[in-house]
Amino acid sequence: MSYVFIAGPYGDHGSQESIALNIERARSAAVRLARERIPFLCPHLNSAHFQNYTPDVPREFWLGMYLRF
């Protein structure tokens, strides 16, 4: 099966507001795709705000995990 990988800046080096805005932009794209029944993978939604939940996990872990897809 083919799918769309929703990519874009996350902004984990930016403010919480910029991160939230980027997550919302990705969510908006995901909603549009879902309504068209187009499969997608959206890392922004899968790990939203995990920099707050898992501050001990380095950024490279998240990037590496998604690059595998």
Q: What is the pLDDT of residue 14?
A: 72
pTM (whole model) above 0.95:
no
The amino acid at 15: S
* Residue pLDDT tens, the chain, 69 long: 899 999 999 885 678 888 999 999 999 999 999 999 999 999 999 999 998 999 999 989 988 988 887
The amino acid at 19: I
Round the average pLDDT of the chain to a whole number and report it: 91
Three-state DSSP at 40 gives: strand
Q: What is the pLDDT of residue 12?
A: 58
Q: What is the pLDDT of residue 28?
A: 98
Cβ count near 47 (within 10 Å):
19
Asked whether the beta carbons of 6 and 42 are under 8 A apart, the reply is yes
The Cα–Cα gap between 43 and 25 comes to: 12
